[in-house]
């Protein structure tokens, strides 16, 4: 059986333009060793899929948890769409085994961090491909089938807030402890706005605003989470 047809059956989507699925599964490194390969890499589809994924997950969380505040919803969303979780989705959906990478990248593919990042990116690219090929409803079905069921696991163990997630990421991935510094205070004591910088080592990663230092720190952490995609 054609590997792509096999994957289509597994994810419940029949592509009208199978070239989109082929592209979604192509890591940029593969093109370096295969100059005659007629498809592009999956980065544009990943960019699109990331936006579709975030919209659908956010919409579902808003409706499923009407009593939850923004901070809780942000933590749930971050836990659902981070690299580690999406890599698990890639494995469960049969996407990981279909990804095309270079021979050199394949050696790194067995190492957890490299494999997780490539697999997670491929999930977003597949979502982007489904969206372009079959529309919003089809992309939503994939996300409901493979991504959103993980919310039960998150609720069982408790979702971590943005600052806790950033601390874990900074220490694990960058070997630094994140620090926060008040950059600006505006307004009188009873109505003050704080601008806080989030630093990895000496590098400013993001600025956040809020009516308290804690709120501003959380805002900065959420911005870095979005940039890093954990």
C-alpha radius of gyration, the chain, whole number: 20
The single residue listed with the structure tokens 């007629």 is: 38
CB-based contact 197:204 (threshold 8 Å): yes
DSSP labels for 62-83?
HHH-TT--HHHHHHHHHHHHSH
Catalytic one of 46, 50, 222, 230 = 50
Phi, then psi, of 116 in degrees rounded to 5: -60, -45
From residue 72, give the alpha-carbon distance in Å to each of 60, 66, 207. 14, 11, 20
Mean pLDDT of 29-39: 85
Q: Is the dihedral of CA 87, 91, 97, 103 positive or negative?
A: positive
Higher local confidence (pLDDT), 142 or 39: 142
110 labelled catalytic: no
Helix (H, G, I), strand (E, B) or coil at 213: helix
- pLDDT cut 70: percent of the chain above it: 91
124 labelled catalytic: yes
Entry field: residues in the chain: 230
Domains detected in the chain: 3-157 (1.10.1520.10), 162-228 (3.30.160.20)
Catalytic one of 124, 133, 217, 230 = 124
CB-based contact 93:123 (threshold 8 Å): yes
Q: Is the pLDDT of residue 226 over 80?
A: no
Q: Read off the pLDDT of residues 85-114 as tens digits, 9 standing for 90 and up.
A: 899 999 999 999 999 988 777 666 555 456
Q: Is the pLDDT of residue 172 over 80?
A: no
């Amino acid at each position: 059986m054609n590997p792509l047809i096999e994957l289509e059956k597994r994810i419940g989507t029949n592509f009208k333009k199978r070239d989109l699925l082929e592209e979604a599964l192509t890591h940029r490194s593969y093109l370096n060793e295969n100059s005659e390969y007629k498809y592009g890499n999956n980065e544009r589809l990943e960019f699109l899929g990331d936006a579709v994924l975030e919209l659908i997950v956010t919409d579902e969380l808003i409706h499923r948890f009407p009593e939850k505040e923004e901070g809780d919803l942000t933590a749930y969303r971050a836990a659902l769409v981070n690299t580690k979780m999406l890599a698990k989705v890639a494995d469960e959906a049969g996407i990981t085994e279909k990804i095309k990478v270079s021979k050199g990248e394949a050696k790194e593919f067995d190492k957890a961090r490299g494999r997780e990042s490539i697999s997670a990116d491929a999930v977003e690219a597949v979502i982007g491909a489904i969206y372009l090929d079959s529309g919003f409803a089809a992309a939503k079905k994939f996300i409901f089938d493979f991504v959103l069921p993980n919310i039960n696991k998150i609720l069982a163990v408790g979702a971590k807030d943005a600052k806790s997630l950033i601390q874990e990421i900074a220490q694990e991935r960058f070997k630094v402890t994140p620090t926060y510094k008040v950059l600006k205070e505006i307004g009188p004591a009873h109505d003050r706005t704080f601008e806080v910088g989030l630093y990895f080592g000496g590098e400013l990663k993001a600025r956040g605003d809020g009516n308290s230092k804690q709120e501003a720190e959380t805002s900065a952490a959420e911005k870095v989470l979005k940039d890093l995609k954990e």
